[in-house]
């Protein structure tokens, strides 16, 4: 996906998908990558990128859309689907009770 032609539709689409180049909206295109994503210098990508390990935009790379890692997407889905009690989610943020100082003998 790195390079100057990333995200330019007709340049990278398979022959049977080239009809999408004129009518597909970038917000509806999701790039699912099984490894790291690197947008090289001068790249221009439109759409949503779902990467497995990391997403890097090098100097001069432009991205119009969203980028997320698969692990974060799974975690977000987990919180939306599994019914957690709110107090169980936020127990880590509560400050421990302050006890009175103990005086030395």
Residue 101 lies in a domain: no
Residue 95 lies in a domain: no
Average pLDDT of the residues of the chain = 75
Task: Domain count for the chain, please give it.
Answer: 1
Give the span between the Cα atoms of 95 and 39, in whole angstroms: 42
Beta carbons within 8 Å of 31's beta carbon, 6+ residues apart:
1, 37, 45, 47, 48, 49, 50
Residue 105 lies in a domain: no
**Containing structural domain, residue 21:** 9-86
Residue 2 lies in a domain: no
pLDDT at 2 over 50: no
Residue 39 lies in a domain: yes
Residue 65 lies in a domain: yes
Burial of residue 49 (CB within 10 Å: 0-12, 13-18, 19+) is: buried
pLDDT at 64 over 60: yes
Burial 26-44 (b: 16+ CB within 10 A, else e): eeebebeeeeebbbbeebe
Residue 94 lies in a domain: no
From the CA atom positions of the chain, what is the Rg in Å?
22
Give the span between the Cα atoms of 101 and 80, in whole angstroms: 43
pLDDT band at 77 (very low <50, low <70, confident <90, very high): confident
């Amino acid at each position: 996906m790195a390079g100057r032609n990333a995200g330019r539709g007709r340049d990278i689409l398979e022959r049977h998908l080239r009809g999408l180049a004129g009518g597909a909206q970038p917000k509806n295109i999701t790039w699912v990558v099984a490894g790291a994503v690197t947008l090289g210098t001068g790249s221009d990508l439109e759409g949503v990128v779902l990467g497995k390990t990391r997403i890097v935009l090098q100097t001069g790379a432009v991205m119009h859309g969203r980028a997320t890692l698969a692990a974060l997407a799974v975690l977000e889905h987990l919180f939306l689907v599994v019914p957690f009690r709110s107090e169980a989610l936020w127990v880590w943020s509560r400050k421990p009770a302050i006890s009175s100082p103990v005086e030395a003998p």
